[in-house]
């Protein structure tokens, strides 16, 4: 059974930083991960709308 991850912070800290470290050797702290996300949210949404949704 697949458990739903409801919190991005928990997912990042538990799955990415601990269990997938071998895939992401230069993983950054959660704060450094989310701060740029705010700056790219609108361009990313526009990209997804245009490219992925047609």
Q: How many domains does the chain have?
A: 1
* pTM of structure: 0.52
The pLDDT score that the predictor gives to residue 5 is 63
Does residue 29 form part of some domain?
Answer: yes
Which of 6, 47, 46, 11 has its CA nearest to residue 30? 11
pLDDT digits (tens, 9 = 90+) for 4-54: 667 878 888 888 888 888 888 888 888 887 777 777 888 878 888 888 776
Does residue 34 form part of some domain?
Answer: yes
Give per-residue burial for 32-43: e unless 16+ CB within 10 Å, then b: ebeeeeeeeeee
Tell whether the torsion through CA atoms of 19, 4, 42 and 51 is positive or negative.
Answer: positive
The pLDDT score that the predictor gives to residue 54 is 65
Q: What CA–CA distance (Å, rounded) separates 37 from 35?
A: 5
Which of 32, 24, 31 has its CA nearest to residue 15? 24
Instruction: Say yes or no to pLDDT of 1 above 60.
Output: no
Does residue 35 form part of some domain?
Answer: yes
Instruction: Say yes or no to pLDDT of 2 above 70.
Output: no
């Amino acid at each position: 059974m697949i458990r739903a991850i409801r919190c991005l912070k928990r997912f990042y800290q538990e799955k990415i930083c601990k269990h997938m470290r071998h895939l992401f050797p230069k993983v950054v702290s959660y704060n450094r991960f989310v701060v740029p996300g705010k700056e790219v949210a609108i361009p990313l949404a526009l990209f997804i709308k245009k490219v992925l949704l047609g």
